[in-house]
Amino acid sequence: MIYIFDSNAIIDYLSASLPSKAMVTIHRIVDQGFFVSVITKIETLGFASGNTKVDSYTKSFVNLGIILELGPDIVQ
């Protein structure tokens, strides 16, 4: 199965603000591999927490995913 994360899902996952069942599910997805559109990458990295360590972790997390560049499929 292919999973594409939205910026809100990433931010909520990294801040551990999702219900525990959702946290476990996303953790499993991360272990299997996931996709992130370049737009989601921009949105997620634009969400600055003000904490350098957290922001660095967010950047590392986003870069774990396979980045989908802009193309007709992403635009649609």
Reported as a pLDDT band with limits 50, 70 and 90, residue 74 is low
Phi-psi region of 51 (alpha: psi -120 to 50; beta: other; left: phi over 0): beta
- Model pLDDT, residue 55: 82
Question: What pTM value is reported for the model?
Answer: 0.81
Instruction: For 7-42, write each residue's pLDDT tens digit.
Output: 999 989 988 999 999 999 999 999 999 999 999 999
Q: For residue 47, what are its two tokens?
A: 């969400």
According to DSSP, residue 5 is labeled E
